[in-house]
Amino acid sequence: MLIKTPCLRRLMSDRDTIITEARHRRTFAIISHPDAGKTTLTEKLLLYSGAIEEAGAVRARSGRQRDVTSDWMEMERQRGISITSTVLQFPHDDLLFNLLDTPGHRDFSEDTYRVLSAVDAAVIVLDAARGIEAQTLKLFKVAQARGIPLITFVNKLDRPGLGPLEILDDIESQLEIKATPVTWPVGGDTDLEGVVDRRDGSFWTFERTPGGREIGEARTGRLEEMDSTPARAQASQELGILDAVAANHDIEQFLKGESTPVFFGSALWNFGIDLLLDAIADMAPPPTARASVDGEPIPLDGGLTGFIFKIQANLDARHRDRIAFLRICSGKFDRGMTLTNFRTGRTFSTKYAHQVFGRDRETVDVAYPGDVVGLVNATELRIGDSLNEDGAVEFPPIPTFAPEHFRVARNLDTARYKQFRKGISQLDEEGVIQSLHTRDGGERVPILAAVGELQFEVAMHRLKTEFSAEPLFDRAPYTLARRTDEAGRARLVGRRGVEIATRADGTILALFTNQAWLDGTLRDNPGILLDTLVGL
Ligand SMILES: Nc1nc2c(ncn2[C@@H]2O[C@H](COP(=O)(O)OP(=O)(O)OP(=O)(O)O)[C@@H](O)[C@H]2O)c(=O)[nH]1
Ligand SMILES: [Mg+2]
């Protein structure tokens, strides 16, 4: 068909550009049980793609070694654990990666789950000595429910661990997914030699560099042409078994979530990193049309749509501002464009838009589906908000968990009440804790609610260091929370063992001192709404 009008021709080419750019995006999370090596692996993916010149260490010895890029928060560096998810955008060959390193600790799992709503694939990291651990299993189930294809990286092969066949068994029996090893380790523990790429039989050996800070040389050869060692003989035998059972990567099965390609290596010692990086480029799917809340796929090449999946204040200690992270689902983002927030119906200008790399960022003028854009100081944006250029697309809500831990937060210094209040409300918007108001305590003495105790430690630390507040947290006598409505509130007010509280977004919660009070309330009030709030 001949396109005659220039305007229509431009429209067509804009649409083509969006589709082409989307095809060049890979947006993925790194997930696992705590300590499996997600942050170390993230650092090495940055090193091998050329985004950083020298890799840092999770527990850097100050002065001698740099810290890792993705654990930028003071508390993360002190403790050597990830507390908050980190966005890293960087080019790899002709692709643009949006990588999200997530915290493994269960107390921060809400953050990880939010990230899983915003990615198209995930790398699941296993510690070779531990196989599938509790949190890995949970995250796997969430990823699977969201239809996210998973690439598995078996890490820490430089340490004593389970045999690789045992690990495959563990994946298949616990995750109930077919494991298709793409690489296979030769040796392990102190005699780890390298990995064989099963696709072409090449044997990759890796040079160790001090602390794994720099890229060492990688050599390829063929196992059968090398002198035999016990490790090589064993690997040959295992490779024979794998060929016999045809455990080969199948792209269709992988995209449907029925199989996971497995890679082996050591993030610390740079074993197998380049193979994994290329696999993410080759295997992880680019963005496709996302479904709205009504289940309708939103075409990639339409107007701009996206949703906010994360909010973070004080990323940059000098600026002390607040970033809302937008996952673009369709269309072309032009900085300065006006977007409508579906929840409020209000429009706002995207004048301050950044691409983010750990705690660093720079202005971004255009972005495409798959990209994560940091919108600075758009204070009305909340987690879960859907943004539109035109039309009115709403994406599925991002669920919050029923909290299980509660504190009464008091302000100890009246002169610093403003800081206290601002800090609490900011941490609530980020989802670090939920801030609840009761009739007695009101805004001055909020109840803080969390999924895990560590969240209070983070909240306390950040209130003091980032907001200069002087808070005190007292234990609160509740152990359970359920969502209710106005009718439920009317029936529960004044009842023993129950406290009614409201969240900043208007959600009404019933807080119970123990399960018996909840059971009694349900028995006495048939039909009352008491929802666990939890969803996937
Ligand atoms: N021996 C060995 N240690 C490793 C390897 N990869 C990571 N580690 C170590 O394992 C520890 C945990 O690594 P991290 O990268 O912080 O693990 P994580 O999965 O990001 O942990 P969380 O984010 O807190 O859940 C650190 O001490 C790393 O140095 C590896 O390949 N071999
Ligand atoms: Mg980490």
**Ligand 2 centre distance from Cα of residue 36 (Å):** 8
Both 131 and 100 in one domain: the answer is yes
What is the Å distance from ligand 1's center to 33 Cα?
11
Specify the residue with its C-alpha closest to ligand 1, atom 24: 81
Determine the Cα–Cα distance for residues 131 and 36; give it in Å rounded to an integer.
10
Quote the CA–CA distance of 129 and 107 in Å, as a whole number. 23
Does residue 92 carry a pLDDT above 70?
yes
**Is 502 a domain residue?**
yes
Ligand 1 atom with the shortest distance to the CA of 105: 25
- For residues 429 and 308, the answer to whether their CB atoms sit within 8 Å is no
Q: Work out the average pLDDT over 343-349.
A: 94
Q: Read off the pLDDT band of 168 (50, 70, 90).
A: very high
User: Which of 182, 177, 101, 192 lies closest to 132 in space, CA to CA?
Assistant: 177
180 DSSP β-pair partners: 261
Q: Between the CA of residue 233 and those of 169, 222, 238, 262, what are the distances in Å?
A: 21, 13, 9, 21
The pLDDT score that the predictor gives to residue 9 is: 58
526 lies in a domain?
yes
Q: Which residues contact 28 (CB under 8 A, 6 or more apart)?
A: 97, 98, 99, 100, 119, 120, 121, 122, 123, 280, 284
| Cα–chain center distance at 230 | 40
Strands 297-298 and 290-291: antiparallel
Half-sphere exposure of 308 (CA within 13 A, CB side): 28
Find the ligand nearest to 264 CA. 1
Tell me, yes or no, whether 418 and 382 share the same domain.
no
What is the position in ligand 1's atom list of the atom closest to the CA of 58? 16
Rounded to the nearest angstrom, the distance between the alpha carbon of 40 and the centre of ligand 1 is 6
Please choose from 58, 71, 79, 124 the residue to mutate so as to test ligand 1's pocket, defined by most ligand atoms within 8 A of CB: 58
What are the percentages of helix, strand and coil residues in the chain, rounded to 5?
A: 30, 30, 40
Indicate whether 427 and 358 sit together in one domain. Answer: no
> 490-502 pLDDT, tens per residue?
999 989 889 999 9
Closest atom of ligand 1 to CA, residue 159: 1
Q: For residue 299, how far is its CA from the centre of ligand 1 (angstroms)?
A: 39
pLDDT at residue 56 above 80?
yes
Which of 260, 283, 306 is the C-terminal boundary of a domain?
283
Q: Could you tell me if residue 218 is inside a domain?
A: no
pLDDT band at 2 (very low <50, low <70, confident <90, very high): very low
Q: Which residue, of 361, 388, 415, is where some domain finishes? A: 388
Ligand 1 midpoint to CA 110 (Å): 21
Going from the Cα of 346 to the center of ligand 2, the distance in angstroms, rounded, reads 37
Same domain for 163 and 275, yes or no, is: yes
The mean pLDDT of 196-221, rounded to a whole number, is 92
Give 536's pLDDT tier (boundaries 50, 70, 90). very low
Q: Find the CATH number of the domain harbouring 473.
A: 3.30.70.3280
Together in a domain, 260 and 330:
no
**Which numbered atom of ligand 1 lies nearest the CA of 41?**
15
Atom of ligand 1 nearest to the CA of 102: 23
| Residue 202 maps to a domain | no
Q: Whose CA is closest to atom 9 on ligand 1?
A: 37
Same structural domain for residues 294 and 327?
Answer: yes
Q: Is residue 306 part of a domain?
A: yes
Is 415 a domain residue?
Answer: yes
Q: Do 174 and 119 fall into the same domain?
A: yes
Mutate to test the pocket of ligand 1, among 35, 78, 109, 157 (most ligand atoms within 8 A of CB): 35
Residue 31 CA, ligand 2 centroid: distance in Å: 9
Cα–Cα distances (Å) from 34 to 145, 337, 384, 402, 476, in that order, read 21, 40, 26, 22, 28
Q: What is the CATH number of the domain that holds 134?
A: 3.40.50.300
d(CA 151, CA 177): 12
pLDDT at 146 over 70: yes
38 and 170 both lie in a single domain: yes
- Quick check: is 200 in a domain? no
Q: Which amino acid is at 3?
A: I
Reply yes or no on whether the pLDDT at 5 is more than 90.
no
Asked if 66 contacts 56 with a C-beta cutoff of 8 angstroms, the reply is: yes
The reply to whether 138 falls in a domain is: yes
Contacts of 210 (CB under 8 A, 6+ apart): none
- Model confidence at 8, pLDDT cuts 50, 70, 90, reads low
Q: Are residues 449 and 421 in the same domain?
A: yes
User: Whose alpha carbon is nearest atom 2 of ligand 1?
Assistant: 156
Domain of 59 in residue numbering reads as: 25-183+252-283
Which atom of ligand 1 lies closest to the CA of 269? Answer: 31
CA-CA-CA-CA dihedral for 198, 203, 208, 213, to nearest 10? -40
- Predicted TM-score of the model (pTM): 0.94
The torsion of the CA quartet 318, 322, 324, 325, rounded to 10 degrees, works out to: 20
Could you tell me the distance, in angstroms and rounded to a whole number, from the CA of residue 345 to the centre of ligand 2?
A: 37
Q: pLDDT digits over 93-118, tens only?
A: 999 999 999 999 999 999 999 999 99
Structure tokens at 506: 């208007």
Q: CA angle at residue 119 from 142 to 283, to 5 degrees? A: 100
- Measured from the Cβ of residue 502, the count of other Cβ atoms closer than 10 Å reads 14
Of the CA atoms within 13 Å of residue 378, those in its CB half-sphere come to: 30
320 and 459 co-located in one domain:
no
Last residue of one domain, picked from the residues 268, 283, 298: 283
Across the range 250-269, mean pLDDT stands at: 96
Q: CA-CA distance, 334 to 342, in Å (whole number)?
A: 19
CA of residue 77 to ligand 2 center, whole Å = 10
Nearest ligand to residue 129 Cα: 1
Q: What is the 3-state secondary structure (H, E, C) of 181-209?
A: ECEEEECCHHHCCEEEECCCCEEEEECCC
Distance from C-alpha of 523 to C-alpha of 279, rounded to nearest angstrom: 55
Number of domains in the chain: 3
Instruction: Tell whether 159 and 268 lie within a shared domain.
Output: yes
Ligand 1 binding pocket (C-beta < 6 A) is 32, 34-40, 58-59, 81-82, 103-105, 155-156, 158-159, 266-269
Residue 276 and residue 315 share a domain: no
